Chains A and B, each alone.
Chain A
Amino acid sequence: MKDANRNELTIEEAGRVAALARLKLSDAELEAARFELARVLGHFRQLETVDTSSVEPVFNPQDSVNKLREDTAIEGLEREQLMSLTEYVKDGCLTVPRTVD
């Protein structure tokens, strides 16, 4: 087993992954994340060495298919219940900082 090489994921790549996940990391945290992510990638590289050309891909650990529900409407949450999960509420709506349209 080849150990995860520190240089297999650049700090820029790690920064991009963090940005996509909306994570604001300090330099030290980013370096730690880069190191861990590089190790994860190392595990996948190890898996890549196995010949899977004759194996069907598995998308889901369960074998079940066609888990479907009938089209019946039921009532969900009361608005007060839903809105009690946040303090940012106005006129029955959740509020967020202004978005571009």
Chain B
Amino acid sequence: MTYETVIGLEVHVELSTASKIFCGCPVTYGQEPNTKCCPVCTGLPGALPVLNKNVVEYALRTCLAVNCEISRITRFDRKNYFYPDLPKAYQISQLYQPIGRNGWLDIEVNGTKRRVRIHELHMEEDAGKLMHDPWEDQTLVDYNRCGVPLLEIVSEPDLRSAEEALTYLEQLRGILQFIGVSDCRMEEGSLRADVNVSVRPAGSNEFGTRTEMKNMNSFKAIGRAIEKESLRQIELLNEGGRVIQETRRWDENKDASFPMRSKEDAHDYRYFPDPDLTAVHVSEDWIDQVRRELPELPADRRKRYIGELGLSDYEAQIVTGHPVISGLFEDVYDLTKLAKDTASWIMGEYLQLLKDKNCGPENLSLSAEDLAAVVSMTAEGKVNRVTARKVLAAVIEDGVKPQTYIEQHGLAMVSDASLLEDTVRRVLAENPQSIEDYKNGKKKAAGFLVGQAMRALGGKADPQLLGSIINRQLSEA
């Protein structure tokens, strides 16, 4: 029997506000444990929460960006459970009147478009962090993360493969970064997903029993976990077994998921409206203001790049993959008016640099002016691309200006036709065998001669001009 995989994602995003959701403690990552806490976020008796206005603004921004209907009255509820990372013994979340409902995102995988519906979007507080003591049989608790604002974005079970799930996540991450609500650093846990997976016979309209894998924080792990979990369920069904609804833990090292020891009580969160917080009334004016301030979204930008700048789908996808990259593309394009060349440099040398340096786009200091200079000089034939790469590396390493570096190192491209003619003549004279080979149909011999001539010219020759001179001289030889 053929099966279809059904996936739904609950994405948690930590908002990059200055302070926590219900108190003034700073939102920072990687601090000494328990140094960013106060009576409110540690649940000391008598402390009262007050909602951070910016959290609502960020939530509204996100609602608009993922096409949610916005609740004009929204409230917070208490989700009660005992766990050491939750000092109040309840999490302030939204159940009955979340800020957003009924949104969607369009994704495209292998040419197939799919609309992924978003069930709801709500605001809540993060919990603390638990670390296992390696020496003693105990757990260490750090409350710094308690009260860090989160958005939870819950999709409908509309995804059908690991690839679709990852595309949706990438798209969502891009949007969240573009609208500036989160840095979405998965390695720091500021974007994490609970993944719900079930399988059903192809063509069936009923859902199978689902399992959930919580707190996944890498794309690679999410992709693998979905693939392996759907295979596990299919094998189970084929053997006549049945899937149990349960939470499973994904073990990246073992490349497999394992059932988590189920708690003795079934979950009973006893949600009720939080009496410490007032309702939030969202006016039309407020929504309009947030809408006016919303930056251009990646999907709109892609459309514009393809329609107006002539980029391919793929090029447009890459240069809008991250707000810093997209900003760089915009600025370099403004300076050079060379859309294709700019895209080519960003997708090639720039991304390679990020990879080599193992850093994010926000950490690489490269000004749009400098990259624009490199792109322009290459396009105008002042330097060849190989040389330009060296220039770019020097610009980043030593902070020199591209023009200065080229002048100081005498790297300007040799376009002096008479010099090139002389060099080619000499190279041909030194390589009679290659001329013979060329005449016998080995066209590769010409490439070898170009290489030799280029070397003789210190790599600075205009490659096109050099190629045409070699071809002409060869045909005359």
Binding site for B on A (CB under 8 A): 16, 19-20, 22, 59-62, 64-77, 79, 82-83, 85, 90-101
Contacts and interface: CB of A to CB of B under 8 A. Distances in A.
Contacts of B260: 100
B139 A67 contact: no
B36 interface: yes
A74 B23 CA distance: 9
A98 B137 contact: yes
Interface in B23-58: 23-27, 32-39, 41-42, 44, 50-56
Contact of B37 (A19, A67, A77, A100): A77
Interface of B: 17-19, 23-27, 32-39, 41-42, 44, 50-56, 75, 80, 82-84, 130-133, 137-143, 249, 260-261, 265, 268, 270, 273, 275, 277-281
Contacts of B53: 68-71
Contact of A77 (B38, B139, B141, B275): B38
B17 A93 contact: no
B278 A66 contact: yes
Given A95-B138, A97-B139, A82 B50 contact: no
A40 B104 CA distance: 44
B35 A79 contact: yes
A71 to B, nearest CB: 4
B108 to A, nearest CB: 36
Contacts of A90: 133, 138, 140
A95 B133 contact: yes
A6 to B, nearest CB: 24
B50 A60 contact: no
A73 B56 CA distance: 16
B434 to A, nearest CB: 66
B441 to A, nearest CB: 68
22 contacts: A20-B80, A59-B273, A66-B281, A69-B51, A71-B54, A72-B18, A72-B19, A76-B36, A77-B37, A77-B39, A77-B42, A79-B33, A79-B34, A85-B44, A90-B140, A93-B34, A94-B84, A94-B143, A96-B139, A98-B133, A98-B139, A99-B83
Interface of B (DSSP majority class): loop
Contacts of B33: 79, 91-93
A94 B34 contact: yes
Given A60-B278, A73-B26, A93-B141, A22 B19 contact: no
A96 B50 CA distance: 29
A14 B270 CA distance: 15
A77 B37 CA distance: 6
A96 B138 contact: yes
Contacts of A69: 24, 50-53
Contacts of B24: 69, 72-74, 76
| Most chain B CB neighbours (cut-off 10 Å) among A71, A72, A79 | A71
A97 B138 contact: yes
A74 B19 contact: yes
Contact of A82 (B19, B37, B56, B270): B37
Contact of A73 (B19, B51, B132, B261): B19
Contact of B75 (A59, A74, A99): A59
Nearest to A20: B268
A94 B26 contact: no
Given A76-B25, A76-B37, A101-B132, A66 B138 contact: no
Nearest to B58: A71
B27 A73 contact: yes
B368 to A, nearest CB: 30
Given A71-B18, A73-B26, A96-B138, A65 B278 contact: yes
Contacts of A72: 18-19, 24
A98 B135 CA distance: 12
Contacts of A74: 19, 24-26
Contact of A98 (B19, B32, B138): B138
Given A76-B25, A77-B37, A67 B50 contact: yes
Given A68-B280, A98-B139, 20 more contacts: A19-B265, A59-B275, A59-B279, A67-B50, A67-B278, A72-B18, A73-B27, A76-B25, A79-B34, A79-B35, A82-B42, A92-B34, A92-B142, A93-B34, A93-B141, A94-B84, A95-B138, A97-B139, A99-B130, A101-B132
A25 B58 CA distance: 46
B278 A76 contact: no
